[in-house]
Structure 1
Amino acid sequence: MASMKLRAAALLSIAALSLTACGSNTDTAADDNAQDAKTVTFTDNDGEKSVQVPAKSVVATDNRTFETLDEWGIKLSAGAVSLMPDTISYTKDKDILDLGSHKEPNLESVVTVDPDLIINGQRYTQHADKFKELAPNATVVSLDPRDGEPFNTELERQVTTLGEIFEKQDEAKKLVDDFEAAQKRVTDAYNTEDTVMGLIASGGELGYSAPSTGRTVGPMFDFLNLTPALEIEDSSTDHEGDDVSVEAIAKSNPDWIIVMDRDAAVAADGADYKPAKDLLENSEALQNVTASKEGHVVVMPADTYTNEGIQTYTEFLNEFADALEAAK
Structure 2
Amino acid sequence: MSLRRFKTIAAAAASGALALSLAACGGSGPTTATSTAPSGSASASTIEVESNLGKHSITAPPQNVVALDNRTFSLLDSWGVKVKAGAVKLMRPDLSYKKDGTTDIGNHREPNLELIVAAQPDVVISGQRFTQFNDEIKKLLPNAQVVDLSPRDGEDFAAELKRQVTEMGRIFAKEAEATKLVEDFDAAVARAKAAYDPGQKVLGVITSGGEINFAAPTQGRSVGPAFDVLGLTPALKVDGSSTNHEGDDVSVEAIADANPDWILVLDRDAAVAANNGETYKPANELLKSSAALQNVTAVKKDQIVYMPQYTYIDEGLTTYTEFFNAIADAMEKAKA
TM-score (norm 1): 0.88
Inter-CA distance 92–128: structure 2 relative to 1 (3 Å threshold): same
Residue 276 (structure 2) pairs with residue 277 (structure 1) = no
Give the Cα separation in 2 of the matches to 1:321 and 1:54. Answer: 36
Residue 211 of structure 2, aligned match among 205, 215, 218? 205
- Higher relative helix content: 1
Q: Which residue of 2 aligns with 1:214?
A: 220
C-alpha RMSD over aligned residues:
1.4
CA distance in 1, matches of 2:59, 2:311: 32
Instruction: State the Cα deviation string for residues 71-122 of structure 1 (Å, max 9, x = none).
Output: 111110111001001122211111x111101001111111211111000011
Residue 87 of structure 1: aligned partner: 94
Q: Which of 120, 140, 148 pairs up with 2:154? A: 148
Q: Determine which of 300, 304, 317 is the counterpart of 1:310.
A: 317
Shift of 1:32: 6.5
Q: Is the 8 A contact 2:151 2:157 kept in 1?
A: yes
Q: Which of 278, 292, 295 is the aligned partner of 2:299?
A: 292
Amino acid at match of 2:278: G
> What CA deviation, in whole Å up to 9, does each residue of 1:125-174 have, x standing for no partner?
10111111221110000101001111111000000000111111100000
Match of 1:12 in 2: none
- 1:1-328 aligned at under 5 Å gives the runs 33=36, 37-94=44-101, 96-268=102-274, 269-271=277-279, 273-328=280-335
The residue type equivalent to 1:319 in the other structure is A
Equivalent residue number for residue 28 of structure 1: none
Amino acid at match of 1:208: F
What is the alpha-carbon distance in structure 1 between the residues aligned to residue 258 and residue 37 of structure 2?
64
Secondary structure of the equivalent of 2:228?
helix
User: Relative to structure 1, is the Cα distance of residues 263 and 52 closer, same or farther in structure 2, using a 3 angstrom cutoff?
Assistant: same
Name the count of aligned residue pairs: 296
Looking at structure 2, the residues matched to 34 and 181 of structure 1 have their Cα atoms a distance apart, in angstroms, of: 35
Of the two, which has the highest radius of gyration?
A: 1
Specify the code of the residue in structure 2 equivalent to 1:305.
Answer: Y
Q: What amino acid maps onto 1:54 in structure 2?
A: P
Question: Whole-Å Cα distance in 2 between the matches of residues 309 and 38 of structure 1?
Answer: 27
In structure 2, list runs of 5 or more residues that go unmatched: 1-33
The CA deviation at 1:54 is 2.8
Amino acid at match of 1:270: E
For 2:136, give the aligned amino acid: K
Structure 1 residues 53 and 312: CA distance shift in structure 2, 3 A: same
Distance 1:137 1:263 in 2: 39
Q: 1:34 to 1:123 in 2, by over 3 A?
A: closer
Return the offset for 1:284. 0.4
Structure 1, unaligned runs of 5 or more:
1-30
Query: 1:72 corresponds to which letter in structure 2?
Result: W
TM-score, normalised by the number of residues in structure 2: 0.86
SS at 1:235's partner residue? Answer: coil
Question: Within 1, Cα distance between the matches of 2:213 and 2:128?
Answer: 21
Other-structure match for 1:13? none
CA distance in 2, matches of 1:224, 1:32: 44
User: 1:243: Cα distance to partner?
Assistant: 0.3
Residue-by-residue CA offset, 1:18-58 (whole Å, 9 max, x unaligned): xxxxxxxxxxxxx9648954211011112221112231210
The superposition leaves residues 150-204 of structure 1 with CA deviations (integer Å, 9 ceiling, x where unpaired) of 1111000000000111111100000000000000000000000000000000000
CA distance in 2, matches of 1:289, 1:323: 17
